[in-house]
Structure 1
Amino acid sequence: MNQRSRIVAGATFSALLVGSLIRPTQRVAAASEPVLMQTMQSELQRAMTSLGSSSEDSSQPKPYFLSYSVADTESVSMSAEYGAITSSNQSHSRTADIQIRLGTPALDNTHGDHRTSALTTMPLPLTDDRAAIARSLWYATNRGYGKALDSLLKVKTEQQVRAKEEDVSADFSTEAAKSEILPPAPQLTLDKAVWEQRLRDLSAHFQQYPDIFYNTVALDAESETDYFVSSESTHVATPNHVARLVIVARTRAADGMDLFRAETFEADKLSSLPDQKTLATKLEAMAKNLEALRVAPITEPFNGPAILSGRAAAVFFHEVLGHRLEGQRQRGDEEGQTFTKLVGKPILPTFLSVADDPTLADFHGISLSGHYNYDDEGQPARRVDLVRDGVLETFLMSRLPVASFSTSNGHGRAQTGRMPTGRQGNLIVTSSKSVTDAQLRQMLIDEAKKQGKPYGLYFEDISSGFAVTTRRSPQAFQVIPLVVYRVFVDGRPDELVRGVSIVGTPQAALNSILATSDKQDVFNGICGAESGSIPVSAVAPAMLVSAIETQRQAQGTARPPIIPPPDPTASTTKEAK
C-alpha cells in the first residue's frame, strides 16, 4: 500500500503516553476454547514477556503490539470442460499471520513504505498438537521480530532526512479489546461423485458450440474458521462457509478479437446453489450470446448517454468510487487522494447514497460475498455510511489512521499472508430518484435525441475493471463490459455490439448520473488489491448517465482455430460398433 506518514516533534510526549495506556494486558485462555486458540494465547503471552527489553535505550525494544491470526480452512475444488473432469482436489490448511509492531502507535516499524514489515506468515500443524503448534508460532514470531527490528531502524533513519509529510497521523489506532468465540465452521462434506457428474453434465453442453474453444465449469467450496488473538486481549473466533460455482466460456471473432462470458453463483452452503436446470439454462444463454457476439459489429468510440444495468452499475461503483474511499488511499506521497479533502461536500447527485455493510449475509435472498463478522484485525464488522444524499461523510477504515479519522470502522481486510488495509465488503448504492426500467429506457432515448446522438448505449453485463489511484498516473478508471447494445432513437431494434471499454475520470463520471431504476441487482466477485484477493459484493440499481466515454478494446491478432473441433459423437459411435 502507498501509505506514508510522519510524527511531528511536538507529538512525541503524547505518543509515548498513548503507548503506555495501551500496554498489553494478560489474559488466560479459557478451557472451553479450542486447543488451537488456547495455544495461540499462551504462546503470545510468552512472546510478549520474553521479547526485547523495556529499557528506553535498548537496541531491542519490546513489542507494543503482537497478534496471531490463523485461518483453519477445509476446501474442495473441482472443474470440468467439454463433459470431462479436469481437476478434483480436497485440502485442509492452517496458516498463521503473525503481526509485530515495535516503537509506538504514533511511529512504528510499519511507517510509510515499510507497512509489510510487521507481518510474518507460517503454516501450522493440522492436528491439535499443542507442542507442535507452539513451536511453529515461536519460530515465526522470532523471525518476525528480527524483520520488525530492522524496519524500525530504517524508519527512524528516514525520519531524519525526509521532508515533513502532509498527513502526520499515527501508524496504528487504539481500539477496545473484543471477545467473541463463535462456533467453528461445520465440517465440509459433499458427495464427490454427484458433484463431479453435475460438472460433467454442465460442461458437456458446450460441445454443441464449435466456435467456443475454451470453457470451464468450476466448483469451489470452503469451510473456514478464523482465529484472532492479540496483546490487547482481543480474542475472536468466527466461522465462514461459502460455495461458489463459476462458468466461463471463450470464443474468438474472425478478426481476432477474443470474447468471453462468465457467470458466478454463490451461496452460504453447497445445498443452496441453484439446481441443475437453472444452471443449464444460464449456460445455454451464455453460449448463445457468445455466438452472437462473434458476428456482432465493433462499436466506434462513443461519448454520450447510456444505461448501466444493476450488475454493471454495481461493478462501476465498486471500481470508480469504492476504491477511492478506502482509508489508506487518503494518505501517503504516492496516492492521488481524489476525495480526501471533500469530506462534508457533495461528490454524487443528491438522490444517491452509498454505504458499505459487511454485516449483511444476503440481499433479498441472494448471498453476499462481502459478508463477515469480524475483520482481519479483530474488529467487529459494521455498517458505514460513506455518502449520504450525495455528501461524502467518511472512509473505509482499518487500524491505519488518516487525518480526521483515527479509529477503525471494521473494514481492515486482507488475504492470508497480506497486511490488512481498508477494503470494501458489501457496497450498497441506494437512490431516491427511481423510475421503472421502461421509463429509464425512454429517458435514455430522450437524452440521446437531446444530444443529437443516433443512439445511446445499454451495458447489460460487466466483467471487471481497474482504478488508478496513484499520483504518478492519471486519476482514471477502465471498466470492461461483456454485453453492450446500441439503443436507437428512431425505433430500430437494439443492436448487439462488441469491443467496448468504459473509460473516464471518477468525479466527471459520477456526477453525470441522471436517474436510476426502482430495483437493485447484486454483483458478487473477488477483488484484488494491495492487501490481496478478497470476496466482495456490490448492490446497485440500473443507472442512466448523461455522458459515458468508451474506447475500443485491443483487437487481437490470433486467428480462430484453423481446423474444426473433433466430432463429440465420434468416439461414442466407434465404441458402439
Structure 2
Amino acid sequence: MPKYHPVSLLLALALLPAARAAGPADVPKTAPDSKLMTALETELTRAMNTLGNDPAAKAKSPKPYFLSYAVADASSLTMSAQFGALTSSNQSHTRTADVQVRLGEPALDNTHGDHRNSALSTIPLPLTDDPAALSRSLWYATNRGYGRALDSFLKVKTEQQVRAKEEDVSADFSTEQPKTDMLPASPALTVDKAVWEGRLRELSGLFKKFPDVFFNNVNLQASTETDYFVSSEGAKVSTPSHVARLVIVARTRAADGMDLFRVETFESDEAGHLPEQKVLIEKTLAMAQNLVALRNAPITEPYNGPAILSGRASAVFFHEVLGHRLEGQRQRGDEEGQTFTRLLNKPILPTFLSVADDPTLATFEGHPLSGHYVYDDEGQPARRVDLIQDGVLKTFLMSRLPIASFSHSNGHGRAETGRMPTGRQGNLIVTSTKTESDKALRAQLIEEAKKQGKAYGLYFEDISSGFAVTTRRSPQAFQVIPLVVYRVYVDGRPDELVRGVSIVGTPQAALNRILATNDKPDIFNGICGAESGSIPVSAVAPAMLVSEIETQRQSQGIARPPILPPPSDGK
C-alpha cells in the first residue's frame, strides 16, 4: 500500500479486506507443515540450486543471493446494504504469491534507489493443494521475477558509474536471523449470512427517516487468512489472521453545495463478536442526526489559535504529523524530506510525551487494534519500538532496508500483497505524564483563547482522514480532515457546531505547541496508504490541548442538494 505520495490514513470506509493477525497467546504453537508450505520450500530450493548455474548458457548469469515466497491464503465475505435493501453479498477464496528475487549482494542489489520494486513478482496460485500445479505457478513467477531483477541490476550498476555519491550509503538489504514458527492455519470463515443480511437491512433502513441524507452504505466485511513465508535464508513462518469489520457511511449536502459525511467503524476478531444490534442502531441514528445538524451549521473561517483535539483526532494527528516521518525509508533517498533524520537523540516533542509503536498488542483496554500482527511481511517478529522517550527521538520504524545508524529490522516491514515491504506503522501509542481532566483541559483552552485575544477556541471531536507530504520537492506539510468541530466561546455562550474545517501545518511547529493532554487515551483504527500499499493500522492517544493550530476552509463544491424530493417509504 512506483512511489506514492502523499501518504495517508483513511477510515475503513475503503472497505479493504485487511486482516488482523492472531497473537501467540491466541493459538498453540504446534501445527504440521501444510502441503502448500511443502510446495513452497521444494520450489524455492530447486530455484536457488538452478538459477545462475546453467552450464549450457552462453553467458553466465548471476545467482540470486536471496529468494523468498510469501503467500496470502484468504477467504472473505462482504455484504452491503443501503436504504433497507441489500446491494451486494459475495464470498471469495484467493491465494496470492509474492516472489522476491535479489541479485548482487546486500550492499548493492537490483532494488537500489528507484528500482526497489524490481525484486517483486505477484501471481495468483491454485486454490487446491495440488503440488504439481503449485510448483508450476511458482516456477513461472520465479522465472519472470529473475528476468526483471536481472534487467534492473544491470541498470543499477550502470547508474552507479555516472551519479554523484549518495548522502546515505547504507546497504540495500539487512542481514537478519531467519525465524521458524509454524502457527496453525486460520479457522474457517463462519458468518450467519441470513442474520447479517437482516441486520444490515435494518441499519441502512434507518436513514429513510432522514430525507436530507442522500447516500448511505452499511458494509460488513469478514475475512480469515493464513500467511506463509519461506526464504533462501531458512525462514519458515505461517501466521493466522482473522477480522470482522462493520462500516456505516452516510452523506448529505448543504444548501451552499458543501458535501458532508460521517463514518462509524466497528471491529472485532469475528462477526459474532461485533456490537449488539441495539448499540449499532443507537450509533447509526446519532450519526444521521449529527449529519442533519452539520448541514445547517455555519462554515468556519480560517483560524489560528488554541484548540483541543479529542483522543481520536489526536491519534490521527500523531499518525500523520509524526508517525510517517519516523518510517525508516523516509530517512534516505534523494526524494525524501528527512524531517527528523538529523534529530536523533534530540527533543522533537514536549518532555511529557513519549511515543512507541507496538504491533504485538492485539487489544488496548479491551478494544481491538487493527495494527496488530505477529510477524511482519519480511518474516521478522513484530516488536515494540520506543520511538520517542520523554520528548527525545530514539529510533525509527525499520524494515530490512537499512539507513545510517540503523542496519537491522525492528519488525516493521509491512506491505499489501503485491507491494514491496517498507518500514510502516502498526499500533502507534502516545503516552503523557502531564494529564488533566476534560474539565480542566477545557478551562485551559478558554484561558489560552482569552490570552491570545480570541473569541473562541476550537474543539475537534471526530476525524475522518488525513495525509502527510514527506517528499523533498514539496513543502513538509500535513492536512487532517475533521468531521465534527465546535467553537468553544470564552464568554460562556454554548458551544457552536461548525463545518468546512481542515487542519493544516508543518510538523515541527505543530508538535511543539502541545500544552497538555487528558487522562483517557482513545483509539483510531483505519487503513493507511503509502508506497507499500494499504495496510491496517491503529493509533492510540489522549486528547490534547495545543496553543496554536491552523485551519483552512475545505473545498465547498458547487452542486445543489437533490432537486427532486425523496420518495417516502418506497412510494
Which residue identity does 1:241 align to in structure 2? H
- Deviations, residues 125-158 of structure 1 (Å, cap 9, x unaligned): 0011111001000000000000000000000000
What's the C-alpha RMSD, in Å, of the aligned pairs? 1.4
Q: Where has structure 1 moved over 2 Å in runs of 4 or more? A: none
Deviation at 1:32, TM superposition (A): 3.0
Partner of 1:332: 333
Partner of 1:359: 360
Deviation at 1:177, TM superposition (A): 1.0
Partner Cα distance (1:88, 1:569) in 2: 22
DSSP 3-state at the match of 2:476: coil
Partner Cα distance (2:60, 2:380) in 1: 32
Structure 2 residue 503 is matched with structure 1 residue 502: yes
TM-score (norm 1): 0.93
Map 1:127-138 → 2, pairs under 5 A? 127-138=128-139
Partner of 2:12: none
Map 1:161-560 → 2, pairs under 5 A? 161-560=162-561
Partner Cα distance (1:370, 1:447) in 2: 36
Partner Cα distance (1:399, 1:425) in 2: 16
Structure 1: give runs of 5+ residues left out of the alignment. Answer: 4-29, 571-577
Question: Do the aligned partners of 1:2 and 1:328 also contact (CA within 8 Å) in 2?
Answer: no
Partner Cα distance (2:151, 2:455) in 1: 63
- Deviations, residues 523-567 of structure 1 (Å, cap 9, x unaligned): 000001110000000000000000000000001000000011111
Partner of 1:10: none
Partner Cα distance (2:301, 2:147) in 1: 57
Which residue identity does 1:208 align to in structure 2? K
Which residue identity does 2:32 align to in structure 1? S
Map 1:117-136 → 2, pairs under 5 A? 117-136=118-137
Partner of 2:48: 48
Deviation at 1:59, TM superposition (A): 4.6
- Deviations, residues 249-280 of structure 1 (Å, cap 9, x unaligned): 00000000000000110111111110101011
Which residue identity does 2:476 align to in structure 1? Q
DSSP 3-state at the match of 2:228: strand
DSSP 3-state at the match of 1:369: coil
Question: Do the aligned partners of 2:54 and 2:60 also contact (CA within 8 Å) in 1?
Answer: no
Partner of 2:34: 34
- Deviations, residues 500-532 of structure 1 (Å, cap 9, x unaligned): 000000000000000000010000000011100
Partner of 2:111: 110
Which residue identity does 2:254 align to in structure 1? A
Question: Do the aligned partners of 1:2 and 1:112 also contact (CA within 8 Å) in 2?
Answer: no
Partner Cα distance (1:366, 1:538) in 2: 12
Partner of 1:16: none
Partner Cα distance (1:569, 1:106) in 2: 67
TM-score (norm 2): 0.94
DSSP 3-state at the match of 2:386: strand
Deviation at 1:191, TM superposition (A): 1.1
DSSP 3-state at the match of 1:126: coil
DSSP 3-state at the match of 1:149: helix
Deviation at 1:53, TM superposition (A): 3.7
Partner Cα distance (1:41, 1:436) in 2: 56
Question: Do the aligned partners of 2:74 and 2:94 also contact (CA within 8 Å) in 1?
Answer: yes
Residue 280 to residue 115, structure 1, CA distance change in 2 (3 Å):
same
Which residue identity does 1:384 align to in structure 2? V
Deviation at 1:569, TM superposition (A): 5.2
Partner Cα distance (1:112, 1:170) in 2: 11
DSSP 3-state at the match of 1:347: coil
Deviation at 1:58, TM superposition (A): 6.0
Which residue identity does 2:334 align to in structure 1? D
Question: Do the aligned partners of 1:522 and 1:540 also contact (CA within 8 Å) in 2?
Answer: yes
Q: Which has the higher contact order (CA 8 A, sep 6+)?
A: 2
Partner Cα distance (2:152, 2:371) in 1: 33
Deviation at 1:94, TM superposition (A): 0.3
Count of matched residue positions in the alignment of Structure 1 and Structure 2: 543
Which residue identity does 1:564 align to in structure 2? P
Deviation at 1:40, TM superposition (A): 0.1
Which residue identity does 1:32 align to in structure 2? P
DSSP 3-state at the match of 2:115: helix
Structure 2 residue 61 is matched with structure 1 residue 60: yes
Question: Do the aligned partners of 1:315 and 1:462 also contact (CA within 8 Å) in 2?
Answer: yes
Question: Do the aligned partners of 1:527 and 1:535 also contact (CA within 8 Å) in 2?
Answer: yes
Question: Do the aligned partners of 1:457 and 1:486 also contact (CA within 8 Å) in 2?
Answer: yes
Which residue identity does 1:538 align to in structure 2? A
DSSP 3-state at the match of 1:519: coil
Structure 2: give runs of 5+ residues left out of the alignment. Answer: 5-29
Which residue identity does 1:145 align to in structure 2? Y
Deviation at 1:189, TM superposition (A): 1.1
State the identity as a percent: 77
Question: Do the aligned partners of 1:464 and 1:480 also contact (CA within 8 Å) in 2?
Answer: yes
Question: Do the aligned partners of 2:303 and 2:550 also contact (CA within 8 Å) in 1?
Answer: yes
Which residue identity does 2:359 align to in structure 1? P
